[in-house]
Structure 1
Amino acid sequence: MILKKEKADIFLLLLLFILNGNNVIYNLFYILPTAVINLFYLCLVLLFSILFRVNIYLNKRFIILFIMFLILLITQSFLLNDRPIIGKVVRYFFNFSIGYLIFSFIDRGSLSFLKNIIKFIVISSLVVWIPTSILLDIFNINVLNFIPSVLRWQGSANSLDYSHILIYNFRNIDNNIYFWFRNSSFYWEPGAFAGTLLMVYLIAILYRNVFSVKNFKELEFWIIIGVLSSLSTSGLLILPFIFLYSRFQSKNRINEYLKYFLFIVPTLALLIYFAFNFLPVLGDKILSQLDLVSLEKSGSDSTRLGSLLFLWNLILDQPFIGYGLFVDSSNWYDLLESLYFNSDHEIGNGFGLLLAQCGVIFSFFFFYLIFININSFYKSYFSSFFILIVLLLILQSQAWFNYPVIYLFAYLNFNKR
């Protein structure tokens, strides 16, 4: 029987992963200013802590992260001579705070419910995705056309595609360039769905001792099903790395990693070769992006590869503090256009975007904080380095710093109560 506190833990964990990409919920149907919405969610978690009499303590890594953001904000305000936008300031502080508050509230044992949460998210998406795909790709029937416009919202604030119905996002159903409609679940796009699942996978590995063997394998199963259904290029390429690492990950076998490395590298090479040559969604997408970048075609700046190459020029021009994390979006895009950014889409590479907006110094310290945080509990440079590299790879596909889950790796106490 699930106790009241456990139900609250499950609700808040589910809320965290919903806020990591369901923009309709994150922005409360776009009816209130961002700062007000963020404060509402923070107060909600604090209210839970009061009702259940849970004390929330600040650990030193969270305080360090808070100070880093504060220093960045003050420095950019002085040196860039640009007025910070209060909504953006609140949003970034909210993103790295909400996860800390939730994980401080929940009991360690409740993390085993990650299996139930991910199972619910994936199955609920499959219930919509499978019949939608069959009707679209076999019978050429677009389900979205039968949903009233009053029940549809934007997948993101800047989107003109009203394809989100709160529990599912039909993004690109009208412009499906792949051989099969891709599963976004309720996230803003398939890559966001896959990226969230991969980060949950890493969190589950770090908290592996709270799971039974059966529960962990079931969690892995639903994560794999979700990533496969997304047909996300980055998701499908990164998933084998994490899966193989989870097979060999054990604090008692750290010295054997070098031996396993000799097995992992050729295995991954074969998997990537197979995926590139036999899965059209990967091979065609990668080749099309390389074609855009090499020929400098319009739209190349918003591809994952093109974005990084384009942003690299910005990073070199102003490497230390970046161009501003908290400035008005219109100012940011004016800057991009003045530097010949010619895409109709948003920047597609989260890693490059972080470096361009925040600068190399802040970015380095943030990733270093992730590394030392994981290593302080696992005493394994291999594990710490592996997880950091995987997070960097996940960042190549989405601007994850606009959402809360990635910050968890910088301050979570993986041995907490």
Structure 2
Amino acid sequence: MELPEELTKVIQLTKEQNTWRRTETINLIASENVMSPLAEAVYMSDFMSRYAEGKPYKRFYQGTKYVDEIESLAIELMNEVTPAKNSDLRPISGTIANAAVFRILANPGDKALIAPVQAGSHVSHTKFGTLGALGIQHIEMPFDKENINVDVDKAIKMIEEVKPKFVVLGGSLYLFPHPTKELAPHVHAVGAKLVYDAAHVYGLIVGKAWSNPLDEGADVMTTSTHKTFPGPQGGSILSNDDELFKEISRTIFPWFVSNHHLHRLPATAVTLIEMKYFGKDYASQITKNAKKLAEALAERGFKVVGEHLGYTKSHQVAVNVRELGGGAKIAKLLEEANIIVNKNLLPCDTPETVSNPSGLRIGVQEMTRYGMREDEMDEIAELMKKVAIDGKDPKEVRKEVIELRKRFLEVKYTFNVDLSSYSSKSIPMII
């Protein structure tokens, strides 16, 4: 039988996506990464078709004996590399992890203090996202414009006055660590809990480039598993507080997750092992690359945020391109050149400019995993200048981007493994 036209279309689009994003583009989206071939091999497994509601060895279905083992192993690995006393991998995203934590820490009508939007709080922390869906009042802590961060002194005063149920640090666009150690004693003094959303920086924490918030006073850490931590899309909850963790963990199923997408588990376990052995080198190179890219962009005339602070200590670089036409325009032009970034609100923006903000958010973690180092950050900055400042035809610059990318097609910071034994004719990966 000849393949149906619509099936041919699906296969073709998948091939085109894989070719474009894996071999022809410079991906600088700060919330993405790439798994190793080994992690992808175990991701494409029978686990993807199965259910395992509940916790390991306490399931509501039969047929889960290997799920129990792989989930327990992944939890042990996550506890080891973080480190943490407890972790739960059942949240299928960082947002779901936040929801499970917030639901336990406060009731509808209660107050939560969050990092100011200008300091990078994620939408799930706000009245427009998960916090609002749970009916919890969202109050922003003051913003320190000079340090591009939470204003510590004013935040302490607000914590003492408001007496919230919990405080949230961490976020989506933030260049510097949030003040966990400085705020934690004051949060606890009013009987509140401190939550750190490490979705973006978990790989930097595991790789010891950033401090572990749990060691600095955070009661709970939530995270994604697919940003600076280069695993499959998913989330987790970590805590050193046994009783609080048990209470939160009991809510994940059935309130927020039924089946937790089991094929994530072996892929996450593989990535945890990779980070155990290679994470320190990887995280260190990410931060070096981010700083170098920021410096190289600034040298070429871009208005890079945070010059007086050294630009960045994370995987992210923020650039103000308002004078060049705005974030929406420049992001689109760069995409035409196969340089993938996202437009983003900057501290100077108002919420009304969300469709065309001043900024670009740039992340170097995926290109770092493909082996790029400081010299390549300089090349990337030059290519971006040609498009955004020099006004060259993006289609012409695209040729240079593809040539650069051809040199970096192999995932690094992983193990060399013969994957032939992992192949499955019944579950092929379309390349």
- Normalising by structure 2, report the TM-score: 0.25
Q: Which has the higher strand share?
A: 2
Q: Report which of the two has the higher share of helix.
A: 1
